[in-house]
Chains A and B, each alone.
Chain A
Amino acid sequence: MIAAEFTAALPEPQIILGLRLWPLSLGRYRLLKRFESPFVDESPREISVQELTKELFFALLICGLPVSEFKSYLMQPKLLAKQAKRFGKIAGKHTKQKGFSILPCFEQFKIYCAEATAMPWHPLSTSRTNESESISHWSHSMEICLRSNAGWTAEEIEEEPMAKAMTDFFKYMESQGSVRLISHEDYSAMEAHGEANAKAFEEYLATLN
């Protein structure tokens, strides 16, 4: 197990606007996706700062609570309101500070998402067949794979860090021969090697013309 794998299992805690966030898990990611949070949008989106501020507060609320608790609050609006008010009070103290800007909070949340899903290594596809892709979202495929093959429970899906889920998922895929895991350094070296080779070959061919 390399150091990054330990980090994947226990990421650094993040605090944004005074709220300590739970690690971004598959469950939390899917909640963000369900509520169409721009922070998990797979394509660039233009959005006003006002709207994005609201989205950030809501995303923080999702990530500041255990997934099962948040889900249960959806059926108990009074409890959801209580939690939201508590968070609002804490956040309010921060927003009143001199020189406050919400923009760094956006960046911090982006980093939270990026760090939570940073891969300890680079997976390379070794697929030799031309299978068509599943229409299911990758997060669902990952859950099915982890639960049926890696012994993950529903609770782990909801709460374990996404990076840990990805680590286990790709480890399993590697054991099946679908991917090969290489270090980011090796991948970079491989890319550089390919580029250098292509350039050398280009130069060589130029001499032919």
Chain B
Amino acid sequence: MGLNLESTISLNSASFERGMHRVKESVADSIKSFAIGAIGVATVEEAFRRTIETADELVNTAKRLGTTVEQVQLLRQAAKEAGTEMETVSTALEKINQARAKALGGDRAASAAFGALGVSQTDLKTKRAADLFMHEISETVKKVSPEQIAQPLREVLGRGAGQGIAVLKTDFDELDKKMQGFMMSGEVAEKLKQLSEGLSFMGTVLIVQLAPAILWCADALLTLMKSAINFAQWVDKKTGLGDAAKISGALSGQTDLKGQAKILGSILIQDIKNGGKITEEQRQSILKANGVDPARLDKDVKDSAGDSFMVFADKIKSTIDALLSGKLKGFDQEADFNATADVAKKMRGNGRIESDSLVKVGNFLGSNIGAVHAAARMEQYSKTTVELLRGVNQTLKTIQVQLPTKNFGGNGSLDGRMKNSSNYSGIMSLMDIPQS
């Protein structure tokens, strides 16, 4: 019996761990070896040996027919499904090559035959026989009745044309899709062939991630990371408020959405606080426009960098609210205001608030804040505030992709109910923005 539990385990932590590792390997490996031995080493080896033989034969056939390993497998399967032998197809391909040589050599009958089968002179010069067989000729055979093209087919495919018709009627695109994953790639076949020739000791196959139960997590993670890195790049390129490399680095391994928002916020705040890539004037403008107290900002950054971003976001919101209600006076950025308003007006188009572009942008903001409400605000935001909001909204977008919009305070559509909506409670609580 193959179980081996004789590894020594001591209480010294390092050697204990090593010992545990050995025990684990030993038990698992010996059971596996025992089972493989019982299945039959010869059977397992036979499976491998046959695979190499098949690869060898595929590579050789592909070379002989002047085609790819994948095409050989497709043609073989098509022949099988059509109830004929691969030999029929091989012969047909060889005949195509012979007829092609004739046609290119000036033989009018051969040229006309190819023409009748939908093959142009350029195709003859540039495509492989298998390509002509599986595409141009196959398409013609599917469209035209065999009687009409019997003569050209005989001219190109030889006497076996009749048997070839059944294969030519195959939907090769569909077959290709069906066989994806089940075909041996040319690269793998070549490696295995080398193995058989003793040129290589190991053929390696890269196994893709196979734990499907957590695939959706991986999928979500990828989406998040992608949007976060995109965001980092945007920050770097457009606003100069952050450093893409720094943000990307800080986000690496960060899978939690709120955590992402905090990291991003923290970096942005640090950059604003320290000047970062922005000018002192811009920095002051941002702080002023959003009513942020630098002392408070310092404290926030020091106490809890992540949360301070949420406080900062809240300040932006308060500023906007103040702007809308006219409570905030002396907002001295008329040029920015007008530029933003112009764009918003253009987006509206003929005064119709439902214009496509506005709806799109409104949707973006609206999913989180309230579409029409947000769009209306655009006219009143300063450019700086819009830029900052954009950062917030990029983060929201990430969350929006991940979470149902109803969690953002019910503002998920552009219907009339939303027009006066200013309910941020959902998203604010999600992002830990203190609600006054």
Contact = CB atoms under 8 A, between A and B. Distances in A.
Given A91-B39, A92-B43, A200-B361, A103 B209 contact: no
A172 interface: no
B238 A92 contact: no
A102 interface: yes
B59 interface: no
B211 A91 contact: no
B210 interface: yes
Contacts of B360: 196-197, 200-201
Contacts of B259: 130
B403 A124 contact: yes
Interface size for chain B: under 10, 10 to 19, 20 to 34, or 35 or more residues? 35 or more
B429 A128 contact: yes
Contacts of B2: 77
Given A50-B48, A119-B216, A103 B184 contact: yes
Contacts, number: 228
Nearest to B48: A53
A85 interface: yes
A149 B205 CA distance: 42
Interface residues of A, number: 86
What is the predominant secondary structure among interface residues of chain A facing chain B? helix
A133 to B, nearest CB: 9
A139 B203 CA distance: 33
B364 A197 contact: yes
Interface string B200-220: 001111111111111110001
A61 B37 CA distance: 12
Interface stretch (B147-155, B281-289, B394-402): B394-402
A10 interface: no
Contacts of A39: 207, 210
A85 B39 contact: yes
B332 interface: no
B357 interface: yes
B404 A87 contact: no
B211 A41 contact: yes
Interface in A126-164: 126, 128, 130, 138-139, 162
A175 interface: no
13 contacts: A38-B207, A42-B209, A42-B211, A46-B207, A53-B44, A57-B43, A81-B38, A82-B38, A84-B36, A88-B40, A95-B47, A194-B401, A209-B238
Interface of A: 17, 29, 34-36, 38-50, 52-54, 57-58, 61, 74, 77, 80-85, 87-89, 91-92, 95-97, 99-108, 110-111, 113-114, 116-119, 122-126, 128, 130, 138-139, 162, 166, 180, 182, 190-191, 193-194, 196-198, 200-201, 203-205, 207-209
Which 9 A-B pairs have CB atoms at the shortest separation, nearest pair first?
A: A200-B360, A84-B38, A197-B364, A88-B39, A88-B40, A81-B38, A117-B212, A194-B401, A100-B50
Given A92-B40, A196-B363, 20 more contacts: A35-B28, A40-B211, A41-B210, A57-B43, A81-B34, A81-B38, A88-B39, A95-B43, A100-B51, A100-B54, A101-B51, A103-B184, A106-B207, A107-B181, A118-B212, A124-B403, A130-B258, A194-B401, A197-B360, A197-B397
